Structure 1
Amino acid sequence: MQISKILNNNVVITEKDQAEVVAMGRGLAFGKKIGDDIAVDKIEKCYTLQGDESSRIDELLAGIPDEIFVITDKVITLAKEKIPGKINDSLFLSLADHINATQLRASDGFVIKNFLLWDIKRFFPTEFSIGKKAVADIAKKFDLPHLLDTDDEAGFIAMHIVNSELGRGNSSASELTKLMEEMLTIVKYSLKVAINEEDIFFQRFVTHLKFFSERVLLDDGTTLPNSDDSLFEMIVERFPESYETTLKIVGFLNKTRGYQVSKDEQTYLTIHLARIVPQTT
């Protein structure tokens, strides 16, 4: 592996399997120049770049201090631990750029309001908790205690993580949040109950709704097969009120997005809704 770009003494760009890679390691580029071989035993972390990211390396990473790369790597490492198998390496570039811009704005006394914060907190609590830890690290490293006065920045970092989870297509955290809010509104008005959002059954429903919403947003035109008609019919008969709400969601998705909700998906939605009702009446 040879150095193609040097970002600082600890971060370089190289190539592996015909893809550009951000390689990190203490003193990795010390005394080195472009074209020199990398000491593989010094590489501590690698992030593989995809698509048009390679052409944006200079634009996104130019002038970013090493401390930002360290914090970014720490955030991604924690995210991969908490959300295994879903975090894309492309998060490194966008998150490093975002965190650097955040600390520059905060140094000048500016903090941007996050208008999706309330939804982010309730829909993506794991990602939000990671964002909180990241903000604490930024505030400590750059002596910006006022960053801790609000949760806005933690929400923005959480959105970057959610975007990485989506992984492909043009879907984004804001789209996912909007879709989940739309379906929750249908649920609340249809069931006509005061939902306790701290209840474990509601939290499980939100988790299911998140994954279901991801499938809707990433829809490639195919529909999940209907595997068990007998189970579907039993659930419909047993929980008619909840199934009526499911049908409203089905109609909404078909009308607004052309998404065909399979019987399996209807079954799982109905079961989750049925668990909410007795806990909120």
Structure 2
Amino acid sequence: MEIKKILNNNVVITQKGNSEVVAMGRGIAFGKKIGDNLSAEKIEKLYELAGNESSRVTDLLSEIPDEILEISDDIATLAKETIKGKINDSLFLTLADHINGVLVRVKENVAIKNFLLWDIKRFFPEEYALGKKAVAEISEKLNLALSDDEAGFIAMHIVNSELENESSSAASELTMLIEEIVTIVKYSLQVSLNEDDIYFQRFMTHIKFFAERVLSSTTENCSKDEDSLFDMVVQKYPEAYETTKKITGFLLKNRNYKVSHDEQMYITIHLARIIEKD
């Protein structure tokens, strides 16, 4: 691979197929110049850049200290190893930009409150746990005292990466949608929602992915056999289904999203288990 841009001794921009990539490695650019080929044994990490990222990535990375790039790489790598599903390579760049901003804010004594922190802890515990680990590493390596608010912000970046959505508001919108659905469940069923209960946790896992489908406007249609199963579930769990109908009505009215029988069936089954547990 040919070097297109040298950012520092450890980071270069190169080409892989039709995509630009960030290549990282200790001393990867030492003694090199633009146009030289990279030594394969020096490459430790490759991050592919989307088309709309390529124009800004050089300026972005050239302003960020090496230690922040290393921390961002550590977190992105851990996220890929931990989270089930796809983590976009853009997470590395997003984290580097965010952590660099954190460093600037701390120096200027500017604190930002994360008003979604409580919901992030509830709805995205795996991502939040990664955010906590990231904050611990940042605090240790950069000698900063960071709050749980920052763990929540990093968790939101990870959720955005999972959603494959470039909008910075994606995680916030997903969190708010989940909160809306849980609020409907809470007031409709009038049962105690124990967040440590395995049935509630399974329900929340399902709702997370369901909410992602709502936001992306994707749905699945049932076969005739599944329609028969749906009818059976409705008859067996009428109380749970009444709450499901309130959810589907809300989504149709407020987000113009029609919930399929398949999706209604699974939501109803999860709610029925919560009711039975209560």
TM range (shorter): over 0.9
Q: State whether residues 169 and 218 of structure 1, in contact with CA within 8 Å, keep that contact through their aligned partners in structure 2.
A: no
Counterparts of 1:157 and 1:131 in 2: how far apart (Å)?
Answer: 5
Aligned twin of 1:278: 276
Q: State whether residues 168 and 218 of structure 1, in contact with CA within 8 Å, keep that contact through their aligned partners in structure 2.
A: no
State the 1:261 CA deviation.
Answer: 0.7
Aligned twin of 1:194: 192
1:126-185: per-residue Cα shift (whole Å, max 9, x none)?
0001011111111111111x21xx200000000000000011475600000010000111
The residue type paired with residue 166 of structure 1 is: L
The residue type paired with residue 71 of structure 2 is: I
Aligned twin of 1:98: 98
Counterparts of 1:176 and 1:239 in 2: how far apart (Å)?
Answer: 28
1:49-104: per-residue Cα shift (whole Å, max 9, x none)?
00310011133222211111111111111111111331011112111100111122
Q: State whether residues 87 and 165 of structure 1, in contact with CA within 8 Å, keep that contact through their aligned partners in structure 2.
A: yes
SS in 1 for 2:12: strand
Aligned twin of 1:119: 119
Identical-residue share of aligned pairs (%): 66
Aligned twin of 1:83: 83
Match of 2:222 among 226, 231, 254: 226
1:221-255: per-residue Cα shift (whole Å, max 9, x none)?
xx312131221111101110100000111111111
The residue type paired with residue 186 of structure 2 is: K
The residue type paired with residue 161 of structure 2 is: S
Match of 1:165 among 143, 162, 167: 162
Counterparts of 1:201 and 1:136 in 2: how far apart (Å)?
Answer: 31
Q: State whether residues 120 and 128 of structure 1, in contact with CA within 8 Å, keep that contact through their aligned partners in structure 2.
A: yes
Counterparts of 1:49 and 1:197 in 2: how far apart (Å)?
Answer: 38
Counterparts of 2:36 and 2:166 in 1: how far apart (Å)?
Answer: 37
Aligned twin of 2:73: 73
Alignment TM-score, normalising by the size of structure 1 = 0.94
Counterparts of 1:175 and 1:92 in 2: how far apart (Å)?
Answer: 22
Alignment TM-score, normalising by the size of structure 2 = 0.95
SS in 2 for 1:22: strand
Residue segments in structure 1 that go unaligned for 5+ positions in a row: none
Q: Within 5 A, what are the aligned runs for 1:127-166?
A: 127-144=127-144, 146-147=145-146, 150-166=147-163
Runs of 4+ off more than 4 Å = none
Aligned twin of 1:39: 39
Number of equivalences: 275
Q: Which stretch shows the higher mean deviation, 51-60 or 249-258? A: 51-60
State the 1:187 CA deviation.
Answer: 0.5
Residue segments in structure 2 that go unaligned for 5+ positions in a row: none
Q: State whether residues 160 and 166 of structure 2, in contact with CA within 8 Å, keep that contact through their aligned partners in structure 1.
A: no
